[in-house]
Amino acid sequence: MKTIGIGVLGCGNISDIYLSNLTSFFPYVTVEAVCDLDETKARAQAEKYGIGKVLTLEEMLADESIRIVLNLTTPKSHYPLTKRCLEAGKNVHTEKPLALNYRDAAELCSIAEEKGLLLGCAPDTFFGASWQTAREVIDRGDIGRVISGEAFFLNSGAEDWHPSPAFYYEKGGGPVFDMGPYNLHNLFNLLGPADGLFGMHTKGREERLITSQPLCGTKIPVEVPTHVSGLIHFASGAVISIIESFDAVMTSLPHIELHGTEGSLLLPDPNYFGGDVLLCKKGDTQWKPVSIGHPYGSNQRGAGVCDMAKCLLFGGTPRASGRMAAHAVEVMESLHLSWDEKRFVSLQSTFSQPAPLQGEL
Ligand SMILES: NC(=O)c1ccc[n+]([C@@H]2O[C@H](COP(=O)([O-])OP(=O)(O)OC[C@H]3O[C@@H](n4cnc5c(N)ncnc54)[C@H](O)[C@@H]3O)[C@@H](O)[C@H]2O)c1
């Protein structure tokens, strides 16, 4: 089978699941090389996953066997590194967020389009079995026209589990830029683009104490709001309430609920590919499980990269598109801006709703 060469840039915490899936699970991709500022990390991942080359970024950009750079660095490096890769003629799929502000995100999309390159961005959990099933339920009209919904992500932060959690509290981190993309990409897959919003935010603490290893006992400054609430109006007419928070000790809120003229849908955690999809039709009094009729029910991160590789081989637009991710960045930035400027924000950007997945990639 013909494959597309991938160069993985950034060999930290999340690189394991990508490398594991891209070297063993997904077709159409071959991981040619890895790269990290910390060469020991890159060497360790190359050895663990049987990857032939450990390269510097310059070497990766000059390597003709690499068609897609997979950018797994931390958020503030996404824009400069993705830009550099695009300018060197590489297609790029990056971890979220695409950039830290909409101006930069839109610039990346324009560069890719001008150069005829593909740009894609995580999260790709909407390729998952539950999310494709939910899309089918909505497209079939089972809940009618979607009127409203809720999308909630609340926890107490990352300093008790991530080995180097400082980036979660730097500009570009915070609950909206970290977890918002999961809610937003999944909502965008189901409902299409948004067109305006109100936001409000606050910060629980000015400092966080790391309790995970190896930095246990280190204090980190909090540069960003850590609790953000918003009301997002979608172009379809749906109004969605959203909360993204690192300031909740515990929660019993659902992940995502959608309410339509003919029924309600209760959806699983958008950080995952699988989970229960529950439907309550008008006239019923209880949730009923929807049978999951799609592949990819477990952690299949990398699906978006495989989809991009398929587009390079056979044509088409990657479902986890740069334009959709840029729209997510505009929404996330605007949730903050709305409260900073005490106003409703009309959104400028839009995107084409990703095509439903037909079977396996
Ligand atoms: N950790 C998770 O569970 C998780 C889950 C989903 C998504 N993500 C996203 O994945 C991205 C990476 O997260 P992580 O947890 O792996 O972070 P991490 O800090 O563990 O790893 C990032 C790696 O990128 C490398 N790096 C940074 N700048 C670089 C550069 N200029 N050139 C080469 N290498 C560079 C660092 O040395 C580090 O090894 C983030 O955007 C995060 O939001 C993480």
- The CATH number linked to 50 is 3.40.50.720
The CATH number given to whatever domain includes residue 248 is: 3.30.360.10
Q: Does residue 183 form part of some domain? A: yes
Instruction: Tell me: do 250 and 269 sit in the same domain.
Output: yes
Range of the domain at 211: 129-292+328-343
Instruction: Tell me: do 61 and 134 sit in the same domain.
Output: no
What are the beta bridge partners of residue 220? 208
- At 9, is the secondary structure helix, strand, or coil? strand
Burial class of residue 114 in the structure, from the number of CB atoms within 10 Å of its CB (0-12 exposed, 13-18 middle, 19+ buried)? exposed
Q: Does residue 232 form part of some domain? A: yes
Concatenating the DSSP letter of every residue in 89-140 gives T-EEEEPSPS-SSHHHHHHHHHHHHHHT--EEES--GGGSHHHHHHHHHHHT
Report residue 263 as tokens.
């029924």
Domain count for the chain, please give it. Answer: 2
Average pLDDT, the chain: 97
- What spacing in Å lies between the alpha carbon of 351 and ligand 1's midpoint? 26
Instruction: Tell me: do 212 and 77 sit in the same domain.
Output: no
The answer on pLDDT for 291 being more than 90 is yes
Q: Does residue 310 form part of some domain? A: yes
Question: Pairing between strand 4-9 and 29-35?
Answer: parallel
The answer on pLDDT for 344 being more than 90 is yes
Instruction: Tell me: do 144 and 248 sit in the same domain.
Output: yes
Q: Does residue 281 form part of some domain? A: yes
Using the atom order of ligand 1, give the atom closest to the CA of residue 14: 16
State the DSSP code for 160.
Answer: T
Q: Does residue 39 form part of some domain? A: yes
Instruction: Tell me: do 228 and 285 sit in the same domain.
Output: yes
State the DSSP code for 245.
Answer: E
Instruction: Tell me: do 10 and 157 sit in the same domain.
Output: no
Instruction: Tell me: do 113 and 148 sit in the same domain.
Output: no
Percent of the chain predicted with pLDDT > 90:
99
Instruction: Tell me: do 276 and 231 sit in the same domain.
Output: yes
Q: What is the pTM of this model?
A: 0.97
Instruction: Tell me: do 270 and 185 sit in the same domain.
Output: yes
For the chain, the helix, strand and coil percentages under 3-state DSSP, each to the nearest 5 = 35, 25, 45
- What spacing in Å lies between the alpha carbon of 14 and ligand 1's midpoint? 7
Instruction: Tell me: do 160 and 90 sit in the same domain.
Output: no
Q: Does residue 78 form part of some domain? A: yes
Please state whether 275 falls in left (phi above 0), alpha (psi between -120 and 50) or beta: left
Nearest CA-CA partner of 334 in 226, 209, 194, 204: 194
Sequence-distant (≥ 6) Cβ neighbours of residue 139 within 8 angstroms: 356
Burial class of residue 200 in the structure, from the number of CB atoms within 10 Å of its CB (0-12 exposed, 13-18 middle, 19+ buried)? middle
Instruction: Tell me: do 272 and 304 sit in the same domain.
Output: no
- What spacing in Å lies between the alpha carbon of 27 and ligand 1's midpoint? 24
Q: With beta carbons less than 8 A apart as the criterion, state whether 92 and 112 touch.
A: yes
Interval 23-64: pLDDT, tens: 999 999 999 999 999 999 999 999 999 999 999 999 999 999
- Res 35: pLDDT: 98
The answer on pLDDT for 66 being more than 90 is yes
User: Ligand 1 within 6 A of 17 CB?
Assistant: no
Q: Does residue 361 form part of some domain? A: no
Interval 169-221: pLDDT, tens: 998 789 999 999 999 999 999 999 999 999 999 999 999 999 999 999 999 99
Q: Does residue 353 form part of some domain? A: no
- Res 1: pLDDT: 85
- What spacing in Å lies between the alpha carbon of 13 and ligand 1's midpoint? 6
Choice from 13, 18, 84 to test ligand 1 binding pocket (greatest atom count within 8 A of CB): 13
- Res 148: pLDDT: 98
Average pLDDT over residues 11-31: 97
Instruction: Tell me: do 196 and 338 sit in the same domain.
Output: yes
- Res 171: pLDDT: 84
Interval 80-125: pLDDT, tens: 999 999 999 999 999 999 999 999 999 999 999 999 999 999 999 9
